[in-house]
Amino acid sequence: MNIQAKLMEKFLKKFDGTSFCVMFETGEEIHIGTLPPKFKVLVHEPVAYKKLLQSTSLALGEAYMDGDLEIEGDIVEALDEIFKFQNQFKTNRRALKKLLYTSTSKNNQKKEVCSHYNLGNDFYKLWLDPTLSYSCAYFENGDETLEEAQYKKIDHILKKLCLKEGMSLLDIGCGWGFLLIQAAKKYKIHGVGITLSEEQHHAFSKRIKEEGLEEYLKVELMDYRELITSGMQFDRVVSVGMLEHVGRDNYELFFKNVDAVLKEKGIFLLHYISGYGEYPGDAWIKKYIFPGGVIPSLREIISLSADFKYYVQDVESLRRHYVKTLLCWHKAFEEHLPEIGQMFEERFIRMWRMYLCACAASFNNGVIDLHQIQFVKGVNNELPMTRKYQYEK
């Protein structure tokens, strides 16, 4: 065993709270932990010890992408086991400063967001469900298909918005527009969706015409920072899976813009991935998947909302729903590898597989959570006094 392999072995022994085998390219095999192994890691090329200390997730993630590491067995189960001991992961924030703390300027954030969502509508259509919903679904009974669960997620959100015919609704980070389409069909609201992605804007515009909803809906290529000067006013505002792209320095600015367009007594429904603490984010995810992405904590968002006199009506965790959602996406992704392979190289495929599986494991372990918060701007005594309305058929 060469020096790099020995150093890698030394590092991996920090994870002795679990149990797995590691086989090096020489055929030498080591056992981490004392119980029977739950999975096996095949090391074709040892990861440099220095890289493991600088960022464990970046070092191991890149090694998997490059084919230097393989996981024999279920990759989600393996990552799920490893993530139970994330306290052993290392991140040198000083060395990774430029990666972890990117600019929150308007131009840079547009570039970062589009790097993910402009991969192509054809790519996302392969493994998302027909609604093209790229956010946590809602498995009310647990046995729904992904498409059924996405319909139920949208229905759940629309109920929390307490919509009535003729109301106006803004969707910040509207994606491919399914939420607004359903809102217009079911409640006959007038909606506006804003997005930074040209691909999403094009697809949503097309869907509006196909559904014959031009009278009710429109989509704009717009940054949330432009809302404050837009002159628009809405009865309701919703944002699903967008706050993660705002950046910690801009949370107050985000609320200012929401506040500028939401009418008094209006409801703001915020759906976002949350963390227990105020961390800068994972180095591998920020480098390869969501550049600039930061996960807000629940406490900082609720604390900030109080500064704007927003009342917290309801908070719901959908963490376990996101585990099921990601497992569905992963399954569909693997089923469409022939088509994806014609679009992207093998390194991209391995990267995307790691992303979907690592996120599923992270939610399962509570490393991250998913919260829906129902805010009311000021006092509104006309809303239902109980949550019963959220679950009525």
**SS3 call for 297:** strand
Q: Interhelix angle for 346-365 vs 56-65, to 10°?
A: 140
H/E element holding 152? helix 146-160
Distances (CA, A) of 57 to 30, 39, 248, 287, 292: 21, 18, 22, 11, 16
* Among 136, 162, 328, 359, the one annotated catalytic: 359
Q: Minimal CA–CA distance to 275: which of 212, 356, 365, 347? A: 365
Q: Minimal CA–CA distance to 325: which of 70, 173, 136, 162? A: 136
The total of other beta-carbon atoms located within 10 Å of residue 238's CB is: 27
Distances (CA, A) of 103 to 97, 199, 245, 282: 11, 23, 12, 16
SS3 content of the chain, % helix, strand, coil (to 5): 50, 20, 35
Answer for the pair 141, 221: CB distance below 8 angstroms, yes or no. Answer: no
Residue entry with tokens 């149990």: 19
Token output for 21: 């085998």
Task: Compute the distance between CA of residue 119 and CA of residue 122 in angstroms, rounded to an integer.
Answer: 9
Would you call 357 a catalytic residue per the annotation? no
Catalytic residues: 359
